Amino acid sequence: MSRRILHLDLDAFYAAVEQRDKPSLRGKAVVVGGSGPRGVVATASYEARKFGVRSAMSGAEAKRRAPHAAFLGGRFPAYHASSKVVMDLLREVSPLVEPLSLDEAFVDLAPSGWADEELPERVEWLRAELERRTEGLTASVGVGSVKFLAKLASEDAKPNGSRVLKPEEELDFIAPMAVRAIPGVGPATEQRLVGIGLYTVEDLRGADRRELIRELGQAAGHGLAELAWGRDDRRVEPQRDPKSISTEDTFAVDLTERAHLEQILRRDAAAVARRLTKAGFFARTVTLKVRFGDFTTRTIARSLGGATDDADEIAAAGIASLTDVDVRPGVRLLGIGVSNFVTAAQERLFDDGLLDGPGEPAVSSDEITEELDVPLSGVRGRGGYYPGSDVEHDEHGRGWVWGSGLGRVTVRFETRHSGPGRIATFAVDDPALKSVDPEPLIRGRQGWAGGV
What is the C-alpha separation between 171 and 230, in angstroms, rounded?
7
Other residues' Cβ atoms within 10 Å of the Cβ of residue 331: 23
Q: Are 158 and 217 in contact (CB under 8 A)?
A: no
Report the length, in residues, of the chain.
452
DSSP character at residue 377: S
Q: Are 320 and 335 in contact (CB under 8 A)?
A: no
For 343-396, where are the E strands, in sequence order? 353-358, 367-372, 390-393
Q: Are 366 and 246 in contact (CB under 8 A)?
A: no
Nearest to 341 by CA among 369, 309, 364, 300: 309
Other residues' Cβ atoms within 10 Å of the Cβ of residue 141: 23
161, with CB counted inside 10 A (0-12, 13-18, 19+), is: middle
46, with CB counted inside 10 A (0-12, 13-18, 19+), is: middle
What is the C-alpha separation between 346 and 24, in angstroms, rounded?
49
136, with CB counted inside 10 A (0-12, 13-18, 19+), is: middle
336, with CB counted inside 10 A (0-12, 13-18, 19+), is: buried
118 catalytic per annotation? no
DSSP character at residue 383: G
Strands of the 30-33 sheet, one edge to the other? 41-44, 30-33, 70-72
DSSP character at residue 40: B
Give me the half-sphere count of Cα atoms (radius 13 Å) on the Cβ side of residue 205: 14
Nearest to 400 by CA among 147, 90, 22: 22
Sign of the dihedral through C-alpha 75, 76, 81, 86:
positive
* Beta bridge pairs of residue 163: 142
Question: First and final CA of the chain: distance in angstroms?
Answer: 20
Identified catalytic residue from 98, 104, 370, 414? 104
Catalytically annotated residues: 104
